């Protein structure tokens, strides 16, 4: 027997509690199993098993060696599975979550590319404006725009987004352009729940940070409504930078007080599978990470 076979035989003897039951499980003759363990002990120069006519038990060296053998054999098996999965065409269902607007604008196009690339995959996109619990809700992958707490989830950072103030050119021409956060008190503001209106708008970072509570006459529960109102010239709103990229390109909205912005918010791709990742999830994670890292909106 080679070394790995001998180690596997020793583990089976220890787990089955004897040479005869180990031989039956391994479909080998009892003498060959006994000989394999004896050769292993001779090579190591240490006794691993105490043998009597009625019982078999591990020595102190045997206990330690058994733990090492189990770990090594498990790692080899995992390496084999991982290598095999690299050559297997990904197939099956992958459930991916993201916030509604970011999902529609930046994740959905990547998921359609993923389906075209891997015909055996099916994708369920769950776009909701709340934090999903991957394990409890059966979500495979989530794209999350936030600082992440320590957890058992695997996370890959793909970029960052800015919290920005914006207003329409017509509004700024009529009401003037604020030069510092304190000037917002003299302006109409539009707040939405996802923009942390209840906690105020934070400017700057660290010891220099400052919180301003907007006295908004118009409070909405989604970014689309806030952006539409700002584009219509009804005031200043605060959103994540990706949300108004089309309006900025069209000249419909302008960004204000850039020198006072808080630190950018990181964007991560999360998945719940630790250790050996299935081919379907690995393919989806790799595709999303590559696509989002190439998205210019996540580096501005």
Q: How many CB atoms lie within 10 A of CB 185?
A: 12
Rounded Cα–Cα distance for residues 138 and 141 (Å): 9
Task: Please indicate, yes or no, whether residues 146 and 272 belong to a single structural domain of this protein.
Answer: yes
Q: Kindly state the percentage of the chain with pLDDT values over 70.
A: 93
Name residue, tokens 């007080």: 257
Rounded Cα–Cα distance for residues 218 and 210 (Å): 23
Asked whether residue 275 is domain-assigned, the answer is yes
Task: Please indicate, yes or no, whether residues 234 and 179 belong to a single structural domain of this protein.
Answer: yes
Asked whether residue 85 is domain-assigned, the answer is no
Tell me what the mean pLDDT of segment 199-221 comes to: 85
Task: Please indicate, yes or no, whether residues 171 and 244 belong to a single structural domain of this protein.
Answer: yes
- pLDDT tens digit string along 156-173? 999 999 999 999 999 999
Task: Please indicate, yes or no, whether residues 245 and 187 belong to a single structural domain of this protein.
Answer: yes
Name residue, tokens 């769950």: 126
Q: Which domain holds residue 16?
A: 3-77
- pLDDT tens digit string along 222-240? 899 999 999 999 999 999 9
Asked whether residue 84 is domain-assigned, the answer is no
CATH number of the domain bearing residue 33: 1.10.10.10
Asked whether residue 286 is domain-assigned, the answer is yes
- pLDDT tens digit string along 135-162? 888 899 999 998 887 666 788 999 999 9
49-53, 233-237, 250-254, 286-290: least confidently modelled range: 49-53
Task: Please tell me the pTM assigned to this model.
Answer: 0.68
Asked whether residue 17 is domain-assigned, the answer is yes
Task: Please indicate, yes or no, whether residues 102 and 175 belong to a single structural domain of this protein.
Answer: no
Asked whether residue 134 is domain-assigned, the answer is yes
Query: Distances from the Cα of 221 to the Cαs of 103, 137, 226, in angstroms?
Result: 17, 24, 8
Task: Please indicate, yes or no, whether residues 198 and 233 belong to a single structural domain of this protein.
Answer: yes
| 156 contacts 289 by C-beta, under 8 angstroms | yes
pLDDT computed for residue 75 by the predictor: 84
Asked whether residue 211 is domain-assigned, the answer is yes
User: Half-sphere exposure of residue 295, counting CA atoms within 13 Å on the CB side?
Assistant: 22
Task: Please indicate, yes or no, whether residues 99 and 53 belong to a single structural domain of this protein.
Answer: no
Q: How many domains does the chain have?
A: 3
Task: Please indicate, yes or no, whether residues 190 and 222 belong to a single structural domain of this protein.
Answer: yes
Task: Please indicate, yes or no, whether residues 153 and 174 belong to a single structural domain of this protein.
Answer: no
Q: How confident is the model at residue 210 (pLDDT cuts 50, 70, 90)?
A: confident
Task: Please indicate, yes or no, whether residues 173 and 148 belong to a single structural domain of this protein.
Answer: no
CATH number of the domain bearing residue 116: 3.40.190.10
Asked whether residue 82 is domain-assigned, the answer is no
Task: Please indicate, yes or no, whether residues 167 and 256 belong to a single structural domain of this protein.
Answer: yes
Task: Please indicate, yes or no, whether residues 219 and 177 belong to a single structural domain of this protein.
Answer: yes
């Amino acid at each position: 027997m080679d070394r790995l076979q001998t180690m596997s035989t020793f583990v089976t003897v220890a787990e089955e509690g004897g040479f005869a039951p180990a031989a039956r499980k391994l479909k080998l003759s009892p003498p060959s199993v006994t000989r394999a363990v004896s050769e292993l002990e001779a090579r190591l120069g240490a006794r691993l098993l105490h043998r009597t006519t009625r019982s078999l038990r591990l020595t102190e060296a045997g206990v330690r060696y058994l733990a090492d053998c189990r770990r090594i054999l498990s790692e080899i098996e995992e390496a084999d599975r991982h290598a095999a999965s690299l050559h297997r065409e990904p197939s099956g269902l992958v459930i991916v979550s993201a916030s509604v607007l970011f999902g529609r604008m930046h994740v959905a196009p990547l998921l359609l590319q993923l389906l075209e690339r891997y015909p055996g995959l099916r994708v369920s996109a769950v776009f909701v404006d709340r934090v999903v619990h991957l394990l409890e809700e059966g979500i495979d992958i989530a794209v999350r725009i936030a600082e992440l707490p320590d957890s058992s989830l695997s996370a890959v950072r793909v970029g960052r987004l800015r919290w920005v103030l914006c207003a329409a050119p017509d509004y700024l021409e009529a009401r003037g352009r604020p030069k510092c956060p304190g000037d917002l008190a003299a302006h109409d503001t539009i707040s939405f729940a996802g923009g942390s209106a209840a906690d105020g708008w934070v400017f700057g970072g660290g010891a220099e940070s400052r919180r301003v509570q907007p006295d908004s006459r118009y409070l909405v529960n989604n970014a689309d409504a806030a952006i539409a109102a700002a584009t219509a010239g009804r005031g200043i709103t605060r959103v994540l930078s990706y949300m108004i990229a089309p309006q900025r390109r069209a000249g419909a909205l302008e960004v204000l007080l850039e020198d006072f912005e808080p630190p950018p918010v990181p964007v991560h791709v999360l998945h719940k599978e630790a250790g050996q990742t299935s081919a379907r999830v690995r393919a989806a994670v790799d595709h999303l990470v590559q696509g989002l890292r190439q998205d210019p909106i996540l580096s501005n």
